[in-house]
Structure 1
Amino acid sequence: MAEGQGAARRRSLPSRLPSRATSGPVHADRASRPPVKDRDLVEPDLPRTAKARDAKKLREGFTTGACATAAAKAAALALVSGVPRTLSDIWLPAGRRHQFAVERCDFLDEDTAEAVVVKDAGDDPDVTNGAHLTATVSRSADPGVHIYGGPGVGQVTRPGLGLEIGGPAINGTPRQMIRIALEEVVNPYEGQGFDVVVSVPEGERMAKRTTNARLGILGGISVLGTTGIVRPFSTASWRASVLQAVDVMSARNMPSCVLTTGGRTERGAMRLLPGLDEGCFVEVGDFTGAAVERCVEKGLGRLMFVGMAGKLAKLGSGVMMTHYTRSRVDTGYLSEVTSRVGGSPELTDEVAAANTGRHAYELWKADGLLETAGDALCDDVAANLAGWAKHHGGDVDTAAVMVDFDSLEPVAWSARAWRHVGDADGDYGRLRRSTA
């Protein structure tokens, strides 16, 4: 067979959907490539004290991609050998092998086996911890490894994720891991290949606690992981979801990126900007700097940050990674803001001694200085975000809005925030202050 003919045969797609498949097939050799390491954005690691509990090192866990791969290999080995498996040894992109316990391994018929590996996220608070990653593996008349999504695995409906629209939300690295694992069982390109259906019972319910729907992943969870390892309390997964959200905005040509610190501030931002698609809003957590860098990389030219006093104080003082273990609210900076806008020496001293950003906010409010001090703080934030973008090679039109801790109403904003709100068909009236 000629080289070109062999390649065409390997990439042929089966004409039928296997039992339980709801999306796919996709080929591992046509999946999005794993991220290139030297393109990763740098973030500080958590300190040792955040990695230990009761003087013991926190346990690492394993990604959904690693567990799906282990289940697929167990089912394929059972299919080939005729013997159900209780263990499954696979290669991890982290550079080592790991043996997984197999919860269940059954034959559904003479050409199909199914195995289950239960995800152990270690000591990481992961919504998919305990998920039953299930792989149903069948012999296929078509050579190659054909991967499908089954119940509980989300289906991709929007561009920007590096995955086929209409296909399963199984990312590039897990696809490659499954291919490598099955090639260790038998060569799937000589004679019969494999159909692999990955499913996750309760996956649709789990997905409701993620941002999948906003990214256009419907009906279940994503099968993820670039190393196979879940590091305890690692911020990497959140950071990755932030970058992914910006990628989707870029692919959909969205007009503006709105960063918020969490669910409550996001509600305030959505109330202020009801005309924007929900895909424009990102719960950025502590990763504002990384999000701005990604906006530059993807050519997004407009960005607004909506937050409360504490996070804004960190950003205003120039800190772009705001995790509490890596930065504290600089009340000295807030004191300088107080003095800059005409606060009394007594108030300036009180703010310098404030316990928290919220405490400083309350002091400003009690003294009638909240609007002017808050506006100055927001101006600093907007300027720092623009400066961070310029440092990374981009020009981004930035704005910042401070919302109240309780009502989530906007109480202060940077000088050009009104233009962002107006251009986005937002509720500009909510940025008008009462003259009463």
Structure 2
Amino acid sequence: MKELRKGYTTGTHTVAAFRSCLDTFLAINESCTTKTNKIDNDDLDVTKGCEIVVSLDFNKDNFLLNPTFQKPQTFQSGSNYLEIYAGLGVGVVTKKGLKIPPSYPAINPAPLEAIKEYFKIKTKKVQNLHLKCCISVTNGQEIAKQTANSKVGVLEGISILGTTGIVKPVSSSAYIDSVKTEIEFAIQNGYKTLYFTLGNSAFNTACKKSDKEAIIEIGNFVYDSIELAVKLKAKEVIFLCGIGKMTKVYQGFKNTHNRFGVIDFSKLQEDIKKNLKYEVDIEATLTVKGISQELQKVGLLDEFYKMITEESNKKIKQWFNTSNVKAIILEEKEVLGW
């Protein structure tokens, strides 16, 4: 099996570019710019290959900044000052509930501290240096449209992320980090009920019940997302998806993507026979939709939905021993009545 590639976060690339740029600036004592491309990896990450640009100057008016109103992150070391701005393609935070307060560049604390620490080390022998730094991402505004940034109030660009610096493949850490950010944001903004959705129909259904800020599209990451909600002490989570994906959950799939396995239809047939006293013809149709249609003809569809829902909720409780998470399939009448 091919070994999957690891990569580095946008934060790690940004810090590396800043270090190179500052070294050059201190050698030539005039404005300079350093660019780096984020190393590709086998994770699901929309920022793969993006160009990160760091510029240093004495005058911020020489920068092309994010058009959103912003305050710079400022740092003092002795008589030296550093101001960090969001350039084009790097977002500015406009809502409460994130790691960075409103009106500041969307640069996470870890890369921000690494930048400040390097500035402190390299300017120990320098006096009265008042330096401006602009961090930009080429086409960052377009890249951000593929993220949840605007929903949580990060406007006109991507976030500069990174805690450990390494992006590990398979875990799809970029997607899970996004889910974590959305959960934290919703909790901080007072939403007592969070809606986890899997698929467009589930998302559209949840939109009839709550604000978009409380609705989190979890992809196929059922276990990882619920685990985050439990750790972050969400008061209530309603998990919505269609009967097909929910059947996977009841069968114990922690991730519902097909690469992690397919539904065991023999097991499903056995459970239907045991609970509903009816034997479905799985040879005729190896799809949950087909089985649903067969059960509808004999008046057992509602009982089938109830079975899948109850077993899915039991599975989630086995995983996390919590009653704060409720799984509901879209086909159930109470959901369709929203």
Q: TM-score, normalised by structure 2?
A: 0.81
Of 45, 48, 51, 1:129 maps to 48
**Alignment: residue pair count:** 320
What is residue 24 of structure 1 aligned with on the other side? none
| 1:395 to partner: Cα distance | 4.3
Matched-pair contact (CA < 8 Å) for 1:332–1:352: no
Q: 2:328 matched to 1:401?
A: yes
Deviation for aligned residue 1:352 = 8.4
* Conserved? CA contact 1:334–1:351, under 8 Å: no
Q: Which moved more, 1:60-69 or 1:137-146?
A: 137-146
Q: Where does the alignment leave 5 or more consecutive residues of structure 2 unmatched?
A: 60-75
In 2: Cα distance, 1:118 partner to 1:329 partner: 41
In 2, distance between residues paired with 1:61 and 1:339?
Answer: 49
> Which amino acid in structure 2 is aligned with residue 374 of structure 1?
Y
Q: Which residue of 2 is the match for residue 278 of structure 1?
A: 212
Determine the structure 2 residue equivalent to 1:370: 301
- Alpha-carbon distance, 1:253 to partner: 1.0
- Check if 1:170 corresponds to 2:107: yes
Does the aligned pair in 1 maintain the 2:195–2:216 contact within 8 Å? yes
Displacement of 1:184 in angstroms is 5.5
**Contact 1:259–1:303 (CA<8 Å) still a contact in 2?**
yes
Q: Does 1:66 align with 2:3?
A: no
Letter in 1 for 2:194: C
Q: Is the 8 A contact 2:95 2:154 kept in 1?
A: yes
- State the alpha-carbon separation in 2 of the partners of residues 211 and 152 from structure 1: 15
Note the 1:241-390 alignment, pairs <5 A. Answer: 241-270=178-207, 274-345=208-279, 347=280, 350-351=281-282, 355-365=286-296, 368-389=299-320
Q: Which residue of 2 aligns with 1:224?
A: 161
In 1, the alpha carbon distance for the partners of 2:228 and 2:7 equals 28
Pair 1:187-2:124 in alignment: yes
Range with bigger deviation, 249-258 or 59-68? 59-68
Contact 1:188 1:194 in 2 (8 A): no
Matched AA of 2:36: V
Quick one: structure 1 residues 262 and 191, their matched pair in 2 at CA, closer, same or farther if it must change by over 3 Å? farther
Give a deviation string over 1:398-429, Cα, whole Å, max 9, x none.
Answer: 433323xxxxxxx226xxxx4xxxxxxxxx7x
Query: 1:241 and 1:63 mapped to 2: Cα distance?
Result: 13
Report the aligned-residue RMSD: 3.0
In structure 1, the residue matched to 2:27 is 81
Matched AA of 2:138:
P
Cα separation, 2, equivalents of 1:358 and 1:242: 29
- Does 1:412 pair with 2:306? no
What residue number does 2:32 align with?
113
Helix, strand or coil at the partner of 1:148: strand
Contact 1:170 1:222 in 2 (8 A): yes
Kept in 2, the 8 Å contact 1:296–1:395? The answer is no
Q: How much does 1:305 deviate?
A: 1.2
Check whether the contact 2:14–2:54 (CA below 8 A) recurs between aligned residues: yes
Once the two structures are TM-superposed, the CA of residue 252 in structure 1 deviates from its matched residue by: 0.7
Is contact 2:31-2:56 (8 Å) kept?
yes
Partners in 1 of 2:27 and 2:245 — Cα distance? 57
Call closer, same or farther: CA 1:114–1:266 in 2, change over 3 Å.
same
Over 3 Å counting, the alpha-carbon distance change for 1:356 and 1:73 in structure 2 is farther
Task: Assess, with a 3 A threshold, how the Cα gap between structure 1 residues 146 and 333 changes in structure 2: closer, same or farther.
Answer: farther
CA contact (8 A) 2:44 2:175 kept: no
| Cα distance in 1 between the residues matched to 2:287 and 2:118 | 51
Indicate how the Cα distance of structure 1 residues 202 and 412 shifts in structure 2: closer, same or farther if over 3 A, else same.
Answer: same
**Matched AA of 1:227:** T
> For 2:177, which of 240, 243, 265 is the aligned residue?
240
**CA distance in 1 between partners of 2:277 and 2:179 (Å):** 37
State the distance in 2 between where 1:286 and 1:187 align. 49
Between 122-131 and 369-378, report the one with greater CA deviation: 122-131
1:408 is matched with none
Q: Distance in 2 between matches of 1:327 and 1:160?
A: 37
- Counterpart of 1:412 in structure 2: which amino acid? E
Cα 1:193–1:264 shift into 2, 3 Å: farther
Deviation of 1:371 after TM superposition, in Å, equals: 2.4
Quote the offset at 1:222 in angstroms. Answer: 0.7
Q: Which amino acid aligns with 1:68?
A: T
Deviation at 1:327, TM superposition (A): 4.5
Aligned counterparts of 2:90 and 2:191: Cα–Cα separation in 1? 26
For 2:90, the aligned partner's letter is V
Q: Secondary structure at the match of 2:80?
A: coil
TM-aligned CA distance change 1:124 to 1:388, over 3 Å:
closer
The CA deviation at 1:209 is 0.7
Q: Distance in 1 between matches of 2:292 and 2:141?
A: 41
Q: In 2, are the aligned partners of 1:117 and 1:133 still within 8 Å (CA)? A: yes
Structure 1 gap ranges (5+): 1-48, 83-109, 404-410, 419-427
After TM superposition, give the deviation of residue 144 of structure 1 in Å.
4.7
